Every structure is written in C-alpha cells, then in structure tokens.
Chain A
Amino acid sequence: GDSVTQMEGPVTLSEEAFLTINCTYTATGYPSLFWYVQYPGEGLQLLLKATKADDKGSNKGFEATYRKETTSFHLEKGSVQVSDSAVYFCALSERAGTALIFGKGTTLSVSS
C-alpha cells in the first residue's frame, strides 16, 4: 500500500540555519502531498501542499517541490526561527477526499 517515509529526528538547529527535512513516498497513483506542522500542545495545521508533479508548495518561508521522478517532497526553509520548533509531518492523499497517510513525524528544535 501507499506509504510515507520521512527522516528521523530530532533535528536540532541554531536560529537562521538552513533546514531540510526529507520525505519520500510510495504510491500506486498520483497522490497529493502535504506537510503538516504540530506545535506543542496544539493540533495539526496544514503548512503547504502540492497536488501534481513539479508543483511547489510554499508558506511562511517553507517550500517543498513534488518530485515524481524521485518520489520525494522534501521540506526546506532558508532561515529557521525559534518559533519554527515543532513536529513536522509529511503526508499523502491518494485522491481527493481520502484519508491522509502520514509519515512518522520529525521533531525540529531551534535554539537562539
């Protein structure tokens, strides 16, 4: 079945460092891809999404590009802030309306 694999954490960075969190997926069709963020004590929030190959999702300085050839959707940010400390989940949806399949999550800790 479909699955999502993302890099193990935790990831610890200093403020203003460059961030990459790797995410690869396995799917039979052409899924939509998502990054969700979960801040401490809160629910999941959609960070960005891409619905077809070569699409780039972006939000709050974060970016991810849907790469069909490498089945990847890596999350990047050029300069992280302390407020970016959270758990990041990569996810896919086989088609509109279906449940999300999540990766295991990557904890990011940013120190000043």
Chain B
Amino acid sequence: GAVVSQHPSRVICKSGTSVKIECRSLDFQATTMFWYRQFPKQSLMLMATSNEGSKATYEQGVEKDKFLINHASLTLSTLTVTSAHPEDSSFYICSARSVHTPYEQYFGPGTRLTVT
C-alpha cells in the first residue's frame, strides 16, 4: 500500500531556532501534499496545501513566513518552522495524494515538535 514517512518523529529545539520536517511518499508519486497541525486531544487543522513545483497555499491564519513549505519533488515535501517559539510545540502531520487515487490521502506518522 501507499506509505508516507516523516522525519524526524520527535524533535526538541530551543526557542529561536529553526526546525525542518520532511515528508516522503515512499512508493508513489505525490502530486499534492498537505500539512496539518494537531493539538492535544483536538482535531487536525489544515495548515497548507503544497503542489509539486509550485508555491504552497496557506490556510487563513497560518504565517507563511514562519512555516516554510517546499515541495521540490514528487516524493518529498518539507516544512520548516522558523524562529520557533514554545507555542509552536505541536504534532505536525503530513499527508500525500496520489494522482491515481484522488479521493484518498495517505498520512505520515507525524512529528512531535517541542520548543523549549
């Protein structure tokens, strides 16, 4: 089946530093990837949609300069949290859509970010 990986699974960083999270589709080409944020015991909130080779589309209220998204290839998208602050601590989840199964999204296992 379609597998999506995320790296790292957990990261702790100091306030003011930047962190990069990778999302890879391992056995399919992902024309579109989505980045979600999940707060404890809450639902997933869509942050942005990225299409390969073009700029990401951010949801209202999401700072594009703080959450940099790059979708440079059909199998890799990255989310960089710049100048991280404790309030950025969260669970970040990516999902990927294959052109062959447009109704389905395949989710990565998530990345737990803790900013101290």
Interface contact A97-B43, CB-CB below 8 Å: no
Interface contact A44-B93, CB-CB below 8 Å: yes
* Interface status of B46 (Cβ within 8 A of chain A): yes
Interface segment, one of B62-70, B79-87, B100-108:
B100-108
* Interface status of A93 (Cβ within 8 A of chain B): yes
Of B42, B102, B105, B109, most buried by chain A (CB within 10 Å of CB) is B105
Chain B contact-residue range equals 20 to 34
Question: In the complex, what residues of B have CB within 8 A of residue A46's CB?
Answer: 104-106
Interface contact A97-B93, CB-CB below 8 Å: no
Contacts A89-B43, A102-B43, A105-B42: A97 and B107 contacting too (C-beta < 8 A)?
A: no
Contacts A89-B44, A105-B42: A45 and B107 contacting too (C-beta < 8 A)?
A: yes
Grouping DSSP codes into helix (H, G, I), strand (E, B) and loop, the B interface class, with mixed when no group exceeds half, is: strand
Contacts A42-B109, A104-B43: A99 and B49 contacting too (C-beta < 8 A)?
A: yes
* Interface status of A49 (Cβ within 8 A of chain B): yes
Question: In the complex, what residues of B have CB within 8 A of residue A43's CB?
Answer: 4, 6, 93, 107-110
B106's nearest neighbour on chain A, judged by CB, is A46
Question: In the complex, what residues of B have CB within 8 A of residue A22's CB?
Answer: none
Chain A contact-residue range equals 20 to 34
In angstroms, how far is the closest chain A Cβ from the Cβ of B107? 4
Quick one: which of A32, A42, A104, A105 contacts B103, CB cutoff 8 A?
A32
Which residues of B (72-116) have their CB < 8 Å from a CB of A?
93, 95, 97, 102-110
In angstroms, how far is the closest chain B Cβ from the Cβ of A53? 15
In angstroms, how far is the closest chain A Cβ from the Cβ of B21? 13
Question: In the complex, what residues of B have CB within 8 A of residue A103's CB?
Answer: 43
In angstroms, how far is the closest chain B Cβ from the Cβ of A1? 11
Extra inter-chain contacts (15) besides given A43-B107, A46-B105, A93-B103, CB under 8 Å: A36-B107, A43-B108, A44-B95, A46-B104, A49-B104, A51-B103, A93-B105, A96-B102, A97-B102, A100-B34, A100-B44, A103-B43, A104-B43, A105-B41, A105-B43
